[in-house]
Structure 1
């Protein structure tokens, strides 16, 4: 079983951190970045999950990274029951920037026919309809993964679910902006949290699955509206983590 997980959030730098951790000589990544066991494939059982990791070896750690884990409401309880000693890393990004990046990501796959403003307006109805039969139906997973532009930026709600199932000292939360601005220092902090020896990768290149192209739909007016909507959630997050207000 893995020793630690990167649990999200989506569009917050998880792919970059995955690359940096996989480069560590004492770390082995799973066969695939996003196994999604605790979200999409929990019914396959732990034997299926275990088969994706290398055999245990003294001094070696294994991990995977599935950004959906932070957001899916059923994952924390499943993780706590299956990985009682594991540690977890979460990255959080300015929720306005994250929402728009998520929108562009979904649109790049041909799954979003609406403009950004229209998609935000449709989001509550889309999610409510999809969740009518619970969070683990195909319709729920489709909506939760693809159309949760604003919902995924309400980070305190998601962390509260995790803290309800595991002690805070097993979850390391970092800002994506810190990883981008000072990857060496942020990475060193992650290694200390995981109990790994200091290590410097050959490079701290930024990895992303999609580049932003074309004119932005994130207008000044829409940015202000989103910022106002996220403000109470950001305040709650700062209180929860003892962070200064930066978003």
Structure 2
């Protein structure tokens, strides 16, 4: 089902259809493909635009319904058959790609990168999977995430107040998540504006479970200014054949109002040591964006 057709279907019917498909798919989990690569974040970093670009490639296969399954963060307690039920069968996947080519299957869940237990879970279940990480200026990402949560009705404080409340809101939440795998922490998922931008610490957690050569890190700013070159580098990492004529658009961009200059300065100062750590961690294994070079 294409995104345009899906939008025309009432939400209750979409949910019922997805539930039925996943239930049926779970019973035939052994016949279904597993992901070859996963986009793990960062949320509000341009992953929807990259997801749409990947979907234009003739050898890429997505989950049957939404781009993000949120299995390794929110739904791990449901088990591997439930996860498999979101993907097409091997036969169906082969029919979607160029004849004779191997389908490259993927999903994208932006919360994976920040979730404390997703790396270990994914390494245990999919040790050979490739990971794609898209990083945005953490100051801009924090403000975009705030605007997004406000628009969804999940945030009612001012930006400055939300930043000040973040430590208190998230206090003890990871321990609750550890005790109960089915527990979904609302503040950890929706009010982590600063924590999600401390990229080096998050990447180090993933590097404890995956070798560096399985992780491709890219800057969202470079993807939007130089999409062809940036996508070619990603395609090379994924083993995708070149495909001329691809279109690159920007999706889910939040309308922007000006951020308070003092708040911006405070965030810049906060993220400066984290960005320096990121620069040392990645070295020359990626092309650093302008925000990392201004430190």
Q: TM-score range by the shorter chain?
A: over 0.9
Match of 1:18 in 2: 51
- Indicate the SS of the match to 1:173: strand
Q: Structure 1 residue aligned with 2:141, among 98, 120, 124?
A: 98
Q: CA deviation at 1:142?
A: 1.1
Task: Report if the CA contact (8 A) 1:54-1:62 is conserved.
Answer: no
- Indicate the SS of the match to 1:105: helix
| C-alpha distance in structure 1 between counterparts of 2:207 and 2:236, whole Å | 21
- Point out the more displaced range, 136-145 or 229-238: 136-145
Structure 2 matches for 1:102-181, cutoff 5 A? Answer: 102-134=145-177, 141-181=185-225
> Is residue 2:92 matched to residue 1:45?
no
| C-alpha distance in structure 2 between counterparts of 1:200 and 1:15, whole Å | 21
Match of 1:225 in 2: 266
- Cα distance per residue 1:32-83 (max 9 Å; x no partner): 1110000001011111111111223451111000000111010001111111
- Point out the more displaced range, 29-38 or 54-63: 54-63
Instruction: Please tell me whether Structure 1 or Structure 2 has the larger radius of gyration of its CA atoms.
Output: 2
Match of 1:197 in 2: 241
| C-alpha distance in structure 2 between counterparts of 1:120 and 1:228, whole Å | 14
- Cα distance per residue 1:4-36 (max 9 Å; x no partner): 100000000100110011111011111211100
- Point out the more displaced range, 61-70 or 47-56: 47-56
TM-score (norm 1): 0.94
Q: CA deviation at 1:140?
A: 5.4
- Cα distance per residue 1:212-231 (max 9 Å; x no partner): 15x43x21111011000000
The alpha-carbon distance between structure 1 residues 137 and 105, as it changes in their structure 2 partners (threshold 3 A), is farther
- Point out the more displaced range, 133-142 or 156-165: 133-142
- Indicate the SS of the match to 1:70: coil
| C-alpha distance in structure 1 between counterparts of 2:86 and 2:182, whole Å | 23
Question: How big is the alpha-carbon RMSD for the aligned residues of Structure 1 and Structure 2?
Answer: 1.6
- Indicate the SS of the match to 2:113: helix
Uncovered stretches (5+) of structure 2, i.e. residues with no partner: 1-33, 95-100
Higher relative contact order (CA 8 A, sep 6+): 1
Task: Report if the CA contact (8 A) 1:131-1:140 is conserved.
Answer: no
- Cα distance per residue 1:132-168 (max 9 Å; x no partner): 5235667753111110000000000100010000100
| C-alpha distance in structure 1 between counterparts of 2:184 and 2:283, whole Å | 33
| C-alpha distance in structure 1 between counterparts of 2:181 and 2:251, whole Å | 31
- Indicate the SS of the match to 2:201: helix
Match of 1:246 in 2: 293
The alpha-carbon distance between structure 1 residues 137 and 87, as it changes in their structure 2 partners (threshold 3 A), is closer
| C-alpha distance in structure 1 between counterparts of 2:122 and 2:165, whole Å | 31
TM-score (norm 2): 0.79
